[in-house]
């Protein structure tokens, strides 16, 4: 006999059982409804891309977390290129836009698919997860960014997540911070490298100034003190991993911190402080004016300060963002971080076509959102889509049970036909455990009378809780009705209503 294999999962991966899958599907269906209301069309791309397509499109942190995969053709063609699992859906979109010139512009698409990152697992953070994206490609106007923010708000409202906040800023405004803090375009950073089994050394590498944004993006999770240390000399985190610093001077970080201190629940006040702080920075007014225009448009459309705030600490970690950036969080579940985020990326398609094609979009993390809503108990997590359980009481009536089940299904009512061998009591408990609202019972007595018995499980529980004695419960049969067999579908529909 072969040795059994221990069933197990790799860290950061998980199975979704029917109860979670049903809730997840409701989330996806709800998001799709909002995206299609905005006129976005579906797109699908492969999970596997050439590694050079994925590499160089994001920050160093994301690139280092790409899962590489073996190429089955490598033995046949040693020169074949390496492959990787996609880490997001935006890079494949940019590749599609460059590859298919016949696509209309503006090209408005949505996509829901799995992505993979070799990140450290955390609350609601997995190595395989589902993203649901919307993007407008070929639109230069900041009105497209406003539309994405509005869609984010409408999606979260449709999902009934409770209190939420969409925060936005602009990479172009953040670029002004680099000028304000006199940060050079390239940074020399010392990183620790392993030189032997137990030996390490340090080498100097060049990092772009935009790595500052990658560090600022950690502000919510890491806190200001750790962000300061990563901007300067670096530190060792709680797990023992060494976080290299960017080597900025304390005076430069002080200026960055002064910028980060600009805050107010009112967008107009943030803008006023911005104009004042950057009054001496060349080109600042034009960039701030663009953000002010977005804020005014949001107000006109009904998205006020209570839902959308101007938060200058929003940086977004991916390197391809070039303009407005935005993200959303659930105010009652801040431990899950951002559940929805994105921004403008006008240069990403250029990597593949040489042509500048402006684009903007956002992505919702379905699995992180699911984890948050389950934690908040704000989602109906049913274990089965069945609305009716047809019990099997008499083996001689099996064909009639099947006929009833298929009659209900053809009427559009999800139905489970019980095919086990347990008694009627355990069958009813089976339906109750799965949350099936109606149980259908049909035996020789019902057959003789031309009727069926329907048990409303919720109504039965409600009444039976008030009945003290079993004999009284048996006499009243709470939530249980007998209806003519030929009126089965109509009776079930009335009970479901």
Tokens standing for residue 219: 């502000």
Same domain, 368 and 398: no
Reduced to 3 states (helix: H, G, I; strand: E, B; else coil), residue 485 is helix
Q: Rounded to whole angstroms, how far apart are CA atoms 240 and 229?
A: 15
User: Of 386, 371, 447, nearest to 417 (Cα)?
Assistant: 386
Mean pLDDT of 367-372: 90
Same domain, 17 and 76: yes
Q: Rounded to whole angstroms, how far apart are CA atoms 281 and 477?
A: 79
pLDDT at 80 over 90: no
- Domain boundary among the residues 345, 361, 383 is at 383
pLDDT at 494 over 90: yes
pLDDT of residue 197: 73
Q: Is residue 236 part of a domain?
A: no
Could you list the residue range(s) of the whole structural domain that residue 412 is in?
A: 388-496
Q: Residue 106, preceding bond cis, omega within 30 degrees?
A: yes
- In sequence order, what are the residues at sequence separation of 6 or more whose Cβ sits closer than 8 angstroms to the Cβ of residue 236? 242, 243
Q: Rounded to whole angstroms, how far apart are CA atoms 472 and 262?
A: 69
Tell me which of 69 and 98 has the higher pLDDT. Answer: 98
Instruction: Judge whether 12 and 127 are in contact, CB under 8 Å.
Output: yes
Q: Is the dihedral of CA 106, 110, 114, 118 positive or negative?
A: positive
Single pTM value for the model:
0.81
- Domain boundary among the residues 323, 356, 383 is at 383
Same domain, 429 and 340: no
Q: What would the pLDDT profile of 287-302 be if each residue is shown by its tens digit?
A: 999 999 999 999 999 9
| Measured distance between the N- and C-terminal CA atoms of the chain, rounded to whole angstroms | 55
Q: What would the pLDDT profile of 370-403 be if each residue is shown by its tens digit?
A: 989 989 988 877 889 999 999 999 999 999 999 9
Judging by beta carbons within 10 Å of its beta carbon (0-12, 13-18, 19+), is residue 47 exposed, middle or buried? middle
- Domain boundary among the residues 383, 418, 450 is at 383
Same domain, 377 and 394: no
Arithmetic mean of pLDDT over the chain: 88
pLDDT of residue 189: 75
What CATH number did the domain enclosing 61 receive?
3.30.930.10
Which helix (H) or strand (E) element contains residue 388? strand 388-390
Instruction: Judge whether 437 and 419 are in contact, CB under 8 Å.
Output: no
> CA gyration radius for the chain?
29
Same domain, 84 and 103: yes
Mean pLDDT of 301-316: 93
Instruction: Judge whether 50 and 396 are in contact, CB under 8 Å.
Output: no
Q: Is residue 201 part of a domain?
A: no
Same domain, 341 and 409: no
pLDDT of residue 467: 43
Tell me which of 43 and 20 has the higher pLDDT. Answer: 43
């Amino acid at each position: 006999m072969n040795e059994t294999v221990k069933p197990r999962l790799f860290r950061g991966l998980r199975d979704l059982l029917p109860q979670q899958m049903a809730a997840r599907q409701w989330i996806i269906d709800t998001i799709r409804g909002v995206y299609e209301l905005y006129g976005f069309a579906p797109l699908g791309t492969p999970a596997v891309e050439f590694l050079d397509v994925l590499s160089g499109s994001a920050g160093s942190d994301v690139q280092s977390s790409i899962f590489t995969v073996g190429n089955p053709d490598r033995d046949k063609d040693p020169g074949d290129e390496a492959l990787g699992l996609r880490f997001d859906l935006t890079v494949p979109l940019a590749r599609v836009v460059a590859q298919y010139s016949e696509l209309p512009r503006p090209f408005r698409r949505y996509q829901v698919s799995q992505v993979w990152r070799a990140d450290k697992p955390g609350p609601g953070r997995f190595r395989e997860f589902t993203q649901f994206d919307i993007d407008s490609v070929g639109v230069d106007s900041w009105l497209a960014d406003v539309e994405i923010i509005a869609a984010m708000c409408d999606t979260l409202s449709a999902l009934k997540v409770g209190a939420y906040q969409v925060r936005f800023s602009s990479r172009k405004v953040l670029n002004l911070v680099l000028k304000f803090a006199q940060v050079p375009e390239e940074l020399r950073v010392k990183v620790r490298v392993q030189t032997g089994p137990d030996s390490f050394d340090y080498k100097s590498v060049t990092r772009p100034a935009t790595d500052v944004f990658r560090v600022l993006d950690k502000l919510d999770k890491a806190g200001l003190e750790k962000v300061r240390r990563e901007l300067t000399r670096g530190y060792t985190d709680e797990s023992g991993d060494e976080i290299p610093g960017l080597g900025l001077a304390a005076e430069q970080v002080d200026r960055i911190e002064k910028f980060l201190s600009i805050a107010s629940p009112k967008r107009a006040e943030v803008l006023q402080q911005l104009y004042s702080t950057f009054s001496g920075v060349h080109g600042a007014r034009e960039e701030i004016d663009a953000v002010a225009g977005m804020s005014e448009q949001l107000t006109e459309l009904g998205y006020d300060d209570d839902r959308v705030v101007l938060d200058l600490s929003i940086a977004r970690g991916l390197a391809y963002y070039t303009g407005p950036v935005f993200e959303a969080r659930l105010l009652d579940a801040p431990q899950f971080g951002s559940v929805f985020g994105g921004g403008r990326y006008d240069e990403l398609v250029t990597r593949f076509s040489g042509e500048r094609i402006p684009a903007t979009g956002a992505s919702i993390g379905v699995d992180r959102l699911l984890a948050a809503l389950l934690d908040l108990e704000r989602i109906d997590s049913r274990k089965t889509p069945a609305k009716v359980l047809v019990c099997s009481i008499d083996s001689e009536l099996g064909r009639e049970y099947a006929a009833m089940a298929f009659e209900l299904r053809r009427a559009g009512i999800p139905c489970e036909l019980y095919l086990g061998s347990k008694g009627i009591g355990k069958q009813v408990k089976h339906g109750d455990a799965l949350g099936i609202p109606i149980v259908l019972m049909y035996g020789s007595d019902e057959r003789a009378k031309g009727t069926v018995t329907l048990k409303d499980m919720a109504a039965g529980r409600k009444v039976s809780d008030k009945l003290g004695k079993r004999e009284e419960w048996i006499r009243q049969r709470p939530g249980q009705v007998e209806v003519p067999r030929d009126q089965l579908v109509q009776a079930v529909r009335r009970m479901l209503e």
